[in-house]
Amino acid sequence: MCLLCLMSTAGTPDPIPAAGREVSDYTALLAYLDYSWGRWNATERLRTPVIVSYTFTETADLPSLAEFDPYGSDGYFSFNADQRDAFRQAAEILEKMAGVVMVEKPGAEAMINVFNSDGSQWSGWANYPSVSEYGSSGGNLVLDYPAGTNYRPGTDAFQVMLHELGHAMGLKHPFEGSVQLIDRFDNTYNTLMSYDWSGGTKSGFSHLDVDALTHLYGTQANTTGWRMSWGADEFRLTASGRAEFLITLPNERNVVRAAGGNDTVLGGSEADRIWGQSGHDTLRGAYGDDKIYGGAGADRLEGGHGSDTLLGGAGADKLSNGTADAQTYGDSDILRGEAGNDRLAQFGSTANLYGGAGNDTLTATGANVRVFGDGGADVIVIRDSSAEIWGGAGDDILRLDGYDATLRYDAPNQSGRDKVFGFDIYGDQIAFGSRYDATDLSFSRAAGGKLLLEIGKTAILFADLRFAEATSLQIDFA
C-alpha cells in the first residue's frame, strides 16, 4: 500500500478517513494496528531489532511508466551524489532513534528502493513493510522534486524524506486508521508523519515518531557492536557477543556469526550459513538450502524448507528440519547432533540424521531416511516408510511406527543391547552385511518368551515378537 505525502505548501489532503479512536500518544502512528504485516519484525515480538537494506536505483534499473505509475508521474530519475548523501544522513538519524540498522546494498533490488519522480502532485511516497511467515517485501521510497533539488538537512525535502522513511518503517499518518491523533496534537512539532507543518522545517524525527519507532524496534543499544559487510554474493553479519536477536536480510544469502550469548538468529529465503558459537542459541533457517552450526551450548536448530545441513556441536541440542503443525518440511537434509544429549526431529523425505556422541533422541517423520544413532544410549523413532537405521554403539531403543524399515548391523562399531518395538516380520528386515553369515546368529528366549537375537557384540531384543517367530525374520547378509 502506498502512502501519499503532499507538498508542504499544499492544502488539506483528501479524502480524510472517518475518525477512529482518538489518542494523544504514538499509537496513532502504528500501521500494524490496522495491518498486522506492517512492521519489519511482524513475525516476532515487538522491539525486536531489524536490519533493513536500501539501494539507490540506477538509471538502467528504473521502472518505466508502463510498469509503475501510481500517481501520474512524467518519469523517474536516480538520486544524484548529494541527494544520496542526504539519504544516508536520514538513515543515520533513524539508526540513532531505534533498533534499526540501515545497510546500503549495491545492485538493483533491496528492501527499500530509493529514486526520484517527476511531475506527480505529491512530494513523495513510500511503501509499508509487508512481512509474514512466508517472506518479506518492501518497496519504493520516492521523492518528487525538480532535478538537482537540495535534499540536505534543513530543507523541506529532507523533512519529507524522513517522513517517507517513517512510512517505510511502518509508521502511518496520524489522521488515518483505527487509532488517530487528537486534532490539536496532529502537527509536525509532535510527529513528522503529520501534514500540518508546525514550528519550522525539521531535520530529525519528532518525539512521537521516536516513541513509535522504539515501540516497534527497541533502542540502538540492541544493535551496537554489529559488524556488517557485503561479499560478492552474500551479506555478512557478526554480532557483538551479547544475548541478541538477529533477523537476517530477506532475499539475500546471509552469513551470520552470532558470537557469545544466548542468541536467536532467523535466516532468510536464500541459502544462509549461520554459526551460533558459544551460548544457548536458537537458530532458524526458514527457506533456502541452509547450513546451521550450533557450536558450544544447548542449542535449538531449525532448518525449515530446503535441503539443509544442521550441526549441533557441543551441548544438549535440539535439531529439527521443520514442524508438522506448521506444515513446513525440509528435503534432502542432514542433521548432526554431535556431542551432548541431543534431540533430532526430521520432517519430509530423503534425510540423514546423525546422533553423534551422547544419549540422543532421533525422530524421523518422512520416507527414505537414514538414521545413525552413533555413540550413546539412543532412542530412535521411525514414523514413516523406507527407513534405514544404524543404532551404533550403546544400548539403544528403536520404535518402528512406520513400515518397510531396515535395521542395519553391518557397521564395525555396532555394539550394545538394543530393544526394538514395532518390528513387522512381513515388512521390516535386518541387514548384517557380509561380515557375518547365518552361523553367527544366536536366537534365544528372553523373559516373557520374547525373542532375543545375538550376533557379534550386539544383542537385539524384539519387544513385540515371540521366540517362535524367529524363523519368520527377514535377514540379509549381502
Average pLDDT of every residue of the chain:
90
- Paired residues of 309 in beta bridges: 291, 334
pLDDT of residue 163: 99
pLDDT of residue 304: 78
pTM of the model: 0.81
250-404 sits in which CATH class? Answer: mainly beta
d(CA 221, CA 99): 7
pLDDT band at 315 (very low <50, low <70, confident <90, very high): confident
pLDDT band at 346 (very low <50, low <70, confident <90, very high): confident
Question: Domains of the chain: which residue ranges?
Answer: 2-217, 250-404, 407-478
When the candidates are 3.40.50.300, 3.40.390.10, 1.20.950.20, 2.60.40.10, the CATH number that belongs to 2-217 is 3.40.390.10
pLDDT band at 322 (very low <50, low <70, confident <90, very high): low
pLDDT digits (tens, 9 = 90+) for 206-247: 999 999 999 999 999 999 999 999 998 899 999 998 999 999
